């Protein structure tokens, strides 16, 4: 796969991820944990069908023999799935998406603490600016009850950071990493099982089930399959930078199709968060390019 094609596919992934908020706003009766249950259940069914088609009956033995790290990663996925949809029901789409955008910063901190990776000054500066943006955003939303929803949304980047830090540690120990598609499947199943008792009594209409199936298959299962492939082509910093498009797409969809106009505090704080993240990744890519050019010149 060419780099250009991989970039465009990653843009497609973020576009698919971004529809969750606007689709959830068009549900008729389903709410709260029921939304998460059906979304995760449809996601699990779609992933199981895809893995069964790609790998045949071997998928069952792979699940039985999955190492502990796959199950821990699966728990992280379950937290991400559950916290995201719960947060969407508690606050605005913009608040949830911008809060989730702190993921790269949380991952960098976890890598420093648990993997002893040194962070450059630009990353520390980005962390401070992003923290200011989040504080500004939370301060403006505290009065209308959206602060709790934003705090729930924080579980998504924290779980993602744990997941990524764990994978980095495993990658250092072995040349071949675990099968992460199995972890996503496990996460979807755990999320559905944990929210099933809380989802009762079911109130979803046929219209709601159609939208929730759309979320489970198109918004989760397909992008997960694509990301696993793209991660082999695109460097991780570039994937993180492109993933920020989900924030822009998601806020735009909610603004245009769900009538959610972001508050001034969310727009201002979100702008600071995105500026910090984009600036950090852009400087990192520029530094790597300069180092690569210097290495080539030294060999001439």
Domains in the chain: boundaries: 13-299
Q: Which helix (H) or strand (E) holds 85?
A: helix 68-88
* 65-83 residue pLDDT tens: 888 888 998 999 999 999 9
Q: Please, what sign has the CA dihedral across residues 108, 113, 115, 116?
A: positive
- Determine what percent of the chain falls in helix, strand and coil, rounding each to the nearest 5: 80, 0, 20
Phi-psi sector, 72: left (phi>0), alpha (psi -120 to 50), beta: alpha
Q: Do 79 and 159 meet the contact criterion of CB atoms below 8 Å apart?
A: yes
**Sequence-distant contacts of 229-235: CB under 8 A, at least 24 apart:** 229/1, 230/6, 230/9, 230/10, 230/13, 233/1, 233/3, 233/6, 234/3, 234/6, 234/7, 234/10
Q: What is the average per-residue pLDDT within 134-150? A: 67
Averaged confidence pLDDT in the chain: 83
Q: Do 153 and 95 meet the contact criterion of CB atoms below 8 Å apart?
A: yes
pLDDT at res. 75: 95
CA–CA gap between residue 249 and residue 215 (Å, rounded)? 16
Of the pLDDT bands very low, low, confident and very high (cuts 50, 70, 90), residue 171 is low
pTM of the model: 0.81
CA 133 to mean position of chain CA atoms: 19
CA–CA gap between residue 69 and residue 57 (Å, rounded)? 22
Asked if the model's pLDDT at residue 143 lies above 50, the reply is: no
More confident residue, 15 or 134: 15
In degrees, rounded to 5, the angle at the alpha carbon of residue 275 between the alpha carbons of residues 272 and 279 is 145
Residue 263 tokens, joined: 């508050």
């Amino acid at each position: 796969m060419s780099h250009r094609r991989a970039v465009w596919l990653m843009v497609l992934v973020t576009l698919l991820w971004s529809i969750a908020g606007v689709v959830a706003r068009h549900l008729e009766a389903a709410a709260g944990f029921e939304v998460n249950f059906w979304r995760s259940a449809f996601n699990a069914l779609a992933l199981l069908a895809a893995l069964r088609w790609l790998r045949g009956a071997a998928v069952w033995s792979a699940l039985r023999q999955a190492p502990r790290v796959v199950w821990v990663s699966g728990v992280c996925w379950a937290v991400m799935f559950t916290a995201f949809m719960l947060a969407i029901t508690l606050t605005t789409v913009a608040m949830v998406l911008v809060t989730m955008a702190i993921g790269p910063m949380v991952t960098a901190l976890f890598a420093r603490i648990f993997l002893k990776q040194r962070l450059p000054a630009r990353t520390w500066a980005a962390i401070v600016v992003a923290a200011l943006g989040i504080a500004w955003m939370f301060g403006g939303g505290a009065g209308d009850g959206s602060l709790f929803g934003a705090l729930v949304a924080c579980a998504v980047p924290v779980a993602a950071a744990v997941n990524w830090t764990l994978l980095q540690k495993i990658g250092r120990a072995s040349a071949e990493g675990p099968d992460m598609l199995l972890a996503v499947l496990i996460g979807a199943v755990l999320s559905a099982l944990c929210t099933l008792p809380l989802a009762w009594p079911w109130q979803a209409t046929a219209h709601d089930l159609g939208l929730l199936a759309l979320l489970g298959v198109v918004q989760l299962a397909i992008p997960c399959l694509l990301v696993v492939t793209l991660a082999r082509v695109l460097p991780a910093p570039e994937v993180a930078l492109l993933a920020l498009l989900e924030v822009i797409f998601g806020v735009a969809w909610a603004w245009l199709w769900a009538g959610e106009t972001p508050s001034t505090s969310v727009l201002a704080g979100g702008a600071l968060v995105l500026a910090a993240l984009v600036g950090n990744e852009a400087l990192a890519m520029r530094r790597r390019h300069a180092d690569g050019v210097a290495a080539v010149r030294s060999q001439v």
